[in-house]
Structure 1
Amino acid sequence: MRRRLVPAALLLPLALLLTACGGSSSASTGSDTDGKGSLTLNVGDQKGGSEAILRAAGELKDLNYKIKWSTFTSGPPLLEAVNAKAVDIGGVGNTPPVFAAGAGSKIKVVAAWHGTSQGDAVLVPNGSKLKRTGDLKGRSVAVAQGSSAHYQLVASLKAAGLTLGDVQVKYLQPADALAAFTSGKVDAWAVWDPYTSQVLQAKQGTVLTTGEGVTNGLTFQVAAPSALQDSTKTAAIEDYLGRLRRAYDWVYDHPEAWAKVWAEETGLPYEVALASVKRTNASRVAVAVDKPLIASEQEIADTFADLKLLPHRVDFAEFTDARFNANLPPSTAKPRVYKDS
């Protein structure tokens, strides 16, 4: 039962990953959140993302503006909508903004959260003879091209004195990568939560290495410059970000309650959702969009430019806006960690 259940469950979170993989997918119209006033803030979201967190935390009450939600399957198409002014603001992981910047998109990173990178992992099947990152030399590794896991794989290999050229990279999206991983067609799989938690909870593999110490663990809210030039929308964005920051604080204080909501939203088994929440989601701390953050993202951009996956080098600072930094800790602030996680 478990073997048949988990692959089916793994197909569902493709629509909710914040950090995540590339690909071209369109948006679906989400729900509208009623509020006072005539202003509507167009927000890009992913299934089980910002709207669900805000609603669970009670942060969608007493709005003086309306929210129109559009749901996207991943970060890249969400940022395409931001660039097209179809969305005023939306949440993504640490890698999609780099590729959007490389494409010359009109975007601005306006808010950030720093979390652990424990859920970003290179997994190996049970019984694998691979025990450390250096053992990957000459082995096959599945990864989604241009994803946060792609960068984590590059960085982990570098820390072990290896390059991508030292391994057999198999560019596969998560559903295909899962099939290859469980059937023994690849030696390892670089992926992120909740996939990491699903594999571990199903006892289908173990962690070879994680992104701790090699990736930045950042997630972002990215806005359209045109929205930031509108004073009324800017005020709404500031209010929205404040609510989202409080909601993530609520998630940390109520992991079980959020895991239940997240499981219902995405179809994840509750145990997997709770493990992912404690390992990754609830660790996030709101931080400033500052120079260390920009430098960290610049490193990712330079890495992908060197790999010829970006058409040219970019100055990531040009794609940030620090106006909402007030009273926030630096981006290097330590994430929150549960003692039992």
Structure 2
Amino acid sequence: MLTTYNHTDSPRLIDPASLAFQSLLDKFAPTDATVLIVGETGTGKEVVARYLHHHSQRRHGPFLAVNCGALTESLAEAELFGHEKGAFTGATQSHPGWFESAQGGTLLLDEIGELSPSLQVKLLRVLQEREITRVGSRKAIKVDVRVIAATHVDLAQAIRERRFREDLFYRLNIAVVPLPPLRQRREDIPLLAQHFLALYARRLGRPARRLSADALEALREYSWPGNIRELENTLHNAVLLSREETLTPAQLRLAGYSEHGFNESNDSTLDSFLQQQLTSQPQQLFDRVISSLISNALSMTDHNQTQAAALLGISRHTLRTHLANQGMIKGRRKAPVTTSTSHTHGTQERELRIGYQKFGNLGVLKARQSLEHCFAQQGISVLWSEFPAGPQLLYALQNNEIDFGTTGEVPPIFAQASGNAVTYIAWEPPAPSSVGIVVPHDSDIRTISDLRGKRISVNKGSNVHWLLLQLLEEAGIGLDELKVVYTPPKYPLTASDYLSVDAWMMWDPLLSAAESNPELRVLVNGEGRVHNHQFYLARRDYVEQHDDILRQLVESLQQTGLFIDSHRQEASMLLAQELGLEIASVERALTRRSHKTRAMAFEVIKEQQTIADRFYALGLINKPVHVRDAVWQFSSALTLIE
């Protein structure tokens, strides 16, 4: 039940804690009461919410989930409650929010503890009055939605710290579901493990796998700080990388495990250590503990901030706040405009902060660590930050969190329209077959015209956003004739994904992986519709101060591209482990694109301008963009990368 809600092969849990928990859910599910799910990160809060929905009288209505922690402050109200045409700059048409979209069904407000105080007030009114008011309107709209909230935050402590409203807490605290962590229901671990082994063997087309007695004992003994999500990822990775039928403890790669078992450590030992430190040097203890926790989490996740935050049970924003307080990263601020270059060629250490996705030249460059070796003797440190897609990467570029990154052809257009001073550094040839629209295999969507009236998932401002516009124009469908659901890319899809939307805009390597899934079907790809170029971008002020670093970086990208094109299987193996996908899918994705990094050319600039003009004409960006003004003009660099 805690991994799925309707599959016939779902495990029947037997641990007493799980059975008691199951009984509680079965009591709450048939009611319409607001439910608050409290549990550590990775315990399956969204799965529990889906279970409640599909065992309620609303099962035939929509189930939608929104992550409150991912809502930007400026647009959160419009996202939740909708907006009217002209409500703010760029609002060219009315748009329903999450509450209206979930009409007649269930809305999960995940990470409710991350909601801003102003939105907490508005949410309280919605829960009391069962009506919303769109941004830019005074008309109240009645909504029939069951609300389920979820959080890993201690809301009682948040109330004491004035981060969460007490009246909202009592409104949510009608039916509370305390979700026990996996370490408190160890009897379920063998059942869950077998379920995930069978699931991923089937999805990846591998023979059935089983656990050795030692491996099963290791799973029982491990503390599972990441809970069920960590267990699932562990077994997914083991099935992906193992060639043997029987999995051993070494193939599970559990932290702290050796041939002698786990390192001895327990709560009493930790308590004794803390008590000893508090009596000797209490002033420094808190900072030391926080610093140690963060350092170890970053080390265990290869400095992936999102994964480290999940491991610690905190949001990425909270993690970055701690990192900034410790001086490990710069605080979020706009980069000051300066013409001084006195530090550029000085003796102090410089840094290059790269935003990347786990694919393409940058993904392989990071995996090979050749850039670090190149810059080490020059006193240049390289810092990597992973992003799920281009729009999120460009946001980090705008907020001075990174200096350089790569995206497709659409995100830079949205960035420039919002005032982001980005500079096009280089590009890679088109790959139109690397983007497409995916539907369930048994879907009634057979042609582009069948998209009318459907719900389409797309990452706003991404490459596939441009493909979607081209598809709609081809079929003569207006934007107001379908429901566009703006969500980041995701694969594999969950049961709620199939219920929330009818089609997904995808790009490689996820598109190639979806093609191998018998449950999915690629309706069309970008052939004859979009170019799907790849661009390398940098902050304009960074370009002005560190052009020598960028020239060397582009050289490294060129060399990496040659490596990918000449050693495709080896490159695929490097990326497959990072992505958690089959090597064959990654190799197919790499084959669809040439990885030869080259200078910006006139015809590419012209094509970018065409996209910018189209988005402006449709009102999807709020001002015209002049692409030529954002191109790196240093002739020496252009000669270098031709």
TM superposition score normalised by structure 2: 0.43
* 3-state SS of 2:433 partner: coil
Q: Which residue of 1 aligns with 2:422?
A: 107
In the alignment, is residue 307 of structure 1 matched against residue 618 of structure 2? Answer: yes
By how many angstroms is 1:187 displaced?
3.2
Calculate percent identity across the aligned residue pairs: 23
| TM-score (ref. length: structure 1) | 0.77
CA offset at residue 180 of structure 1?
6.8
Superposed CA deviations along residues 302-337 of structure 1, whole A, max 9, x for unmatched, are 2322332212122122222143322656xxxxxxxx
- Local SS of the residue matching 1:312: coil
Counterpart position of 1:42: 352
Whole-Å separation in 1 of the counterparts to 2:496 and 2:528: 25
In 2, Cα distance between equivalents of 1:57 and 1:224 = 25
Cα offset, 1:245, TM superposition? 1.4
Question: How has the CA–CA distance of structure 1 residues 62 and 315 changed in structure 2, closer, same or farther, with 3 Å as cutoff?
Answer: closer
1:57–1:251 CA contact under 8 A, matched in 2: no
- Aligned counterpart for 1:236 among listed residues 535, 549, 554: 549
Q: Please, which of 377, 384, 387 is the counterpart of residue 70 of structure 1?
A: 384
Query: Shift of residue 234 of structure 1?
Result: 0.9
User: Contact (CA 8 Å) 1:85, 1:226: kept in 2 or not?
Assistant: no
Task: Structure 2 unaligned segments of length 5 or more: list them.
Answer: 1-198, 205-228, 237-305, 307-315, 329-346
Q: Please point out which of 563, 583, 606 is paired with 1:295.
A: 606
Deviations 1:176-216 (A, max 9, x none): 99347863553322221222122211222122111122222
Task: Supply the distance in 2 between the matched residues of 1:205 and 1:288 (Cα, whole angstroms).
Answer: 38
Report the CA distance shift for 1:161/1:76 in structure 2 as closer, same or farther (over 3 A). Answer: closer
Distance change (3 Å), C-alpha of 1:155 and 1:245: same
| Deviation of 1:160 (Å) | 3.4
Answer yes or no: is 1:276 the counterpart of 2:586.
no
Q: Does 259-268 or 320-329 show the bigger shift?
A: 320-329
Higher relative contact order (CA 8 A, sep 6+): 1
Cα separation, partners in 2 of 1:2 and 1:223, compared to 1, 3 Å? same
| Alignment partner, residue 459 of structure 2 | 144
- Inter-partner Cα distance in structure 1 for 2:618 and 2:505: 18
Residue identity opposite 2:485 in structure 1: K
> Aligned pair count?
311
Question: Would you say the 8 A contact 2:458–2:484 is kept in 1?
Answer: yes
- 1:44 is matched by which residue type in structure 2? I
Give the aligned partner of residue 134 of structure 1: 449
Further displaced range: 72-81 or 257-266: 72-81
Aligned match of 1:258: 571
1:175 to partner: Cα distance = 3.7
Secondary structure, counterpart of 1:131 in structure 2: coil
Alpha carbons of structure 1 residues 2 and 303: separation in structure 2 relative to 1, 3 Å: farther
RMSD in angstroms over aligned alpha carbons? 3.6
Structure ID, larger Rg: 2
TM-aligned CA distance change 1:107 to 1:38, over 3 Å: same
1:199 and 2:485 correspond: no
Q: Give the Cα separation in 2 of the matches to 1:184 and 1:105.
A: 36
CA distance in 2, matches of 1:55, 1:310: 33
Query: What secondary structure sits across from 2:432 in the alignment?
Result: coil
For residues 403 and 510 of structure 2, the distance between their equivalents in structure 1, rounded to whole angstroms, comes to 29
| Cα separation, 2, equivalents of 1:190 and 1:274 | 21
Match of 1:89 in 2: 404
Aligned to 1:172: 487
Q: C-alpha displacement at 1:154, in angstroms?
A: 0.6
